[in-house]
Amino acid sequence: MLRSRVCVSTCALLFIGVAASCAGVEEPDRAAADSDDAVTQDLAAGDRDGAVFALTTEGFVRGITTDATRQFRGIPYAAPPVGDRRWKPPQRAARWPGVLDTTQFRNHCPQAGGPFGEASDTEDCLFLNVTTPRELAFRLRPVMVWIHGGGLTAGQSDVYDPTPLVDQGDVIVVTINYRLGALGFTAHPSLTAESADAASGNYGLLDQQEALRWVRRNILLFGGDPTRVTIFGESAGGLSVHAHLASPTSHGLFQRAIVQSGAYQLAQPSL
């Protein structure tokens, strides 16, 4: 019985991959796995403990189920922004071997800590979380991407539980981390001179764009509709939504937007 269930799980993942390819979504690289046997062993272990699996363009991920949802926590959507990648636009995450454990939340971006998030000094923080309804559907569900607030200096994705929205709204919710404070929003002439875009200081917003590109590439593989993506955020998250509405480089990454207590500018100009 276990072998048959593993076969069904594997075949379902391969079917989703074929469907994504036919729909024009980038096909995941199954060569990223160590071997078919290694992946099958992980699937078998998951079948015993109630885990769920999905296939992304970077490799397999293993999540958890709750009474109402399937959750994949701490999926890397970009390479760690450390070393030579500090104060640079985000780079796409590397492929991983085997099955990545996404049952636990990962690091959040460096911040002092306070009401919007716990203190952290870990720069390897560009992760997102995907929450879907537990029951599979024979149609693609709309997608909502949450951008947290915190004055662009604090906040983290895992303090917001999307279960009520997912369960009652029958949607897929993605929550994201992005660089904050000095690491996310420092502008300096030397950084501008190094930039191909002749700009600096928007690294946190660029992280958000990279997360939206990940959603565009992968959300179909989780049952989401990449043509029905809504971005929404509160406070600094709402400000970020305003920025993406105005930015030509965010065009095509989402179709709808919700601003909650946002601001269209940080300071009043002098007249």
Q: What 8-state DSSP symbol labels residue 26?
A: P
Strands (E), 30-180: 52-56, 59-65, 69-76, 99-101, 127-133, 141-147, 172-176
What are the Cα distances from residue 105, in Å, to 94, 177, 180? 19, 11, 18
Give pLDDT, residue 44. 46
- Note whether 179 and 81 are within 8 A (CB): yes
Tell which residue, 58, 90, 82, 60, has the closest CA to residue 72: 60
Give pLDDT, residue 198. 81
The mean per-residue pLDDT over the stretch 232-249 comes to 95
Give the highest mean pLDDT range of 115-129, 181-195, 219-233.
Answer: 219-233
Mean pLDDT of the chain: 84
**C-alpha–C-alpha distance, residues 29 and 230, integer Å:** 27
Residue 144 has phi, psi (to 5 degrees) of -125, 130
pTM for the structure as a whole: 0.83
Considering the domain 68-260, what is its CATH architecture?
3-Layer(aba) Sandwich (3.40)
Give pLDDT, residue 63. 98
Q: What is the largest CA-CA distance in the chain?
A: 75
The more confidently predicted of residues 175 and 108 is 175
Which SS3 state, helix, strand or coil, does residue 224 take?
Answer: strand
Q: How confident is the model at residue 12 (pLDDT cuts 50, 70, 90)?
A: very low
